[in-house]
A and B are shown apart, each in its own frame.
Chain A
Amino acid sequence: MFKYIALRLFHSLFVLLGLSILIFFISRIMPGDPARVALGPLATEEQVQKLRVEMHLDKPFPVQYYFWLKSVLHGDLGRSLYTRRPVVTDLNEFLPATLELVLFSFLISLIFGQVTGVLAGYFRNSWFDGLSRMVSYIGVATPAFAVAIFLLLIFSHILGFTPAVGRISIALRPPPRVTGFIILDSLLAGQFKTALNGLKHIILPAASLAVAHIAQEGRVTRSSIVDNMQKDYVAAHVVHGIPTQSVMFKYLLKPSLIPTVSIMGLDFAFILANAFLVELVFMWPGFARYAVTVMLNKDLNAIVAVVLIVGVAFAIVNLIVDIVVSFLDPRIRLQRRGG
């Protein structure tokens, strides 16, 4: 087991290293001089030349990469050319808001996806199964920004259930920052009203991100439950007189979760990517909105950092997913041990 995890960890590190080379390389072969972009059109040629030397732009690519990697490993991602602050400071400010949104939405899609999947599998070919099938077709086909706009129009503008934009109402004072998650922080500070307000703000963006994945996870769980139901061991349990519920939740659910859990890493990645769109619609002051801003401003240092952060988040989630799957499916971890 330990060897398996170590192997996966090594693989993730390798992939991240490759990703950093790729993105760094692309950022350096782009037309345009990063030093000139940084200083603006008014700077003199001498100033630009000086910055070029400081940024190691006068040296060959591998040397540039070496210096860059060295500073990244020391926790320095360079200075944003747009906000004029260290990129790390920016990330520290914006990342928690996005993590809060993405994790919340991940949680929603997990719970609702499983429930729909199990119900649709159990009552297969019923009206509920048909409905969940319809919803999943539409859910998968609708881009996240369109879902966000539809939900915003219906629940916020027409029905008036939820506030349209932001993380909390302007009138409320944000809680003291501990984790950076507003709902968690206000609970910690005992401000229940603020927490409720934060919850109201997060529900629509989180739902917009979750819809497609509820649909997809529901379908995957359903088909895996239907597959497993036809296996002999389930028939054996039923014949032995074990109550249906017990068979469903104790013996059927665990193996049926494997395909769902395996796609979870990909799901998380897509939720994170779609946050780039949804945050724009709901004016969510997060990492993704920061990312889009720096991209529109061609802020090379920040763009490279953004891609790397997303890569790291994805790698961590994939690692967790692999470990969970190997717990659920003994065949995987035993096979690895043997091989």
Chain B
Amino acid sequence: MPKIEILSTVLSAKRVKLSKGWYKFSRNTLSVLGLITLIIIVLAAILAPYITPYPEHAGPYTNFRESGQPPNLKHLFGTDTVGRDVFSRVIFGYRFSLLLAVVVISLSVPPGIVLGLVAGYTRRRWLEVGIMRVTDIFLAVPPLVLALAITAMLSPKLLNQMMAISLMWWPWYSRLVYSITSSLRHEYFVHDAELTGARKGFILIRSILPNCVGPVLTKITLDMGFVITLGASLSFIGLGVQPPKPGLGTMVADGAKRLPAEWWMTIFPALAIVFVILSFNLIGDGLRDMFAVEEI
């Protein structure tokens, strides 16, 4: 019985913590608004083949009789130069953007965290300096430029774009986790754990890592927006999602040639990008307040 009681106390404590967190988050109206927008966007992207009016327009479809139509009831965002529905293509475009962000974050965050933990905790000076100097090298050029260069040297497609951006992204996390770890390194609870003979891996995971959760989660949310910007920028230049697939950046670039007369081909995809990034940023701001993260 006592075991179960302890377990239930722990669980209810966690629940209280969670509901407190949600309370803090929900005080920020804009963040909640961002969360709702994001949920709608994600659902729309996942269910794209079922909810878009013309799912076949996301591919190599042409219908010149309907090309270049301004927004109307049949085509909410108008049609592009070969008669494809811009609204359907925007929703499908979200799929590539979100996929890119999820893949990049899940590839780059774990190694970043591990390197940051190791560099911040180790007593071996050469290891710490070594890791952090390599981090500096990757941060010596704006991510857009290096990602562009690498994607270009490979060949322009979504997969290479993902790899290039992931290669650029881990140093931000190792730097963040490093600064947290090295400041906690000499706290009493870490010393206590060391004195009781806990193994290094245990200390890193159980004593130090939980303190990184707030800042890292906040950064991940904000970075989702950044990565989507970066991906859209690469596609805009022509180094991302290749036509006829609907990349948001590609659509903006194609439409830009037809400004100002056929503005809807550019403006709607551009606004779509702004919306998704804005919602991530608003959520990130809410998380920052919730975890009381000072700087990221």
Given A143-B273, A145-B252, A157-B259, verify A137-B144 contact (CB < 8 Å): no
What's the nearest-Cβ distance from chain B to residue A307, in Å? 5
For the complex, is A67 an interface residue (Cβ under 8 Å from B)? no
Query: Could you say which of A103-111, A199-207, A228-236, A308-316 contacts chain B?
Result: A308-316
Closest to A156 in B: B260
Q: Is the CB of B149 within 8 A of A306?
A: yes
For the complex, is B146 an interface residue (Cβ under 8 Å from A)? yes
For the complex, is B116 an interface residue (Cβ under 8 Å from A)? no
Interface size class of B (residues with CB under 8 A): 35 or more
List B residues 258-296 near A (Cβ within 8 Å). 259-260, 263, 266-267, 270, 273-274, 277-278, 281-282
Which of B239, B256, B278 is within 8 Å of A141, CB to CB? B278
Closest to B150 in A: A26
For the complex, is B176 an interface residue (Cβ under 8 Å from A)? no
Question: How many interface contacts (CB-CB < 8 Å) are there between A and B?
Answer: 132
For the complex, is B229 an interface residue (Cβ under 8 Å from A)? yes
In whole angstroms, what is the CA distance A273 to B148 when docked? 10
What's the nearest-Cβ distance from chain B to residue A236, in Å? 26
CB neighbours of A138 from chain B (8 A): 274, 278
Given A295-B148, A303-B149, verify A149-B278 contact (CB < 8 Å): no
Q: Is the CB of B140 within 8 A of A15?
A: yes
In whole angstroms, what is the CA distance A18 to B136 when docked? 9
Closest to A315 in B: B140
List A residues 73-118 near B (Cβ within 8 Å). none
Q: Is the CB of A303 within 8 A of B233?
A: no
In whole angstroms, what is the CA distance A307 to B232 when docked? 20
Closest to A157 in B: B260
Q: Is the CB of A18 within 8 A of B134?
A: yes
Given A14-B133, A138-B274, A149-B266, verify A298-B153 contact (CB < 8 Å): yes
For the complex, is A23 an interface residue (Cβ under 8 Å from B)? yes
Q: Is the CB of A276 within 8 A of B134?
A: no
Which of A18, A149, A296 is within 8 Å of B252, CB to CB? A149
CB neighbours of B145 from chain A (8 A): 272-273, 276, 291, 306-307, 310
Q: Is the CB of A30 within 8 A of B153?
A: yes
Q: A26-B149, A26-B150, A273-B145 are in contact. List 12 more A-B contacts (CB 8 A).
A: A137-B30, A143-B233, A146-B270, A276-B148, A280-B237, A281-B256, A295-B149, A303-B149, A307-B141, A307-B146, A311-B140, A314-B142
Give me 15 A-to-B residue pairs in the complex whose CB atoms sit less than 8 angstroms apart, sorted by A's number.
A11-B136, A19-B137, A23-B146, A30-B153, A141-B281, A146-B273, A149-B267, A273-B143, A273-B144, A276-B144, A276-B145, A276-B148, A291-B148, A303-B152, A307-B149
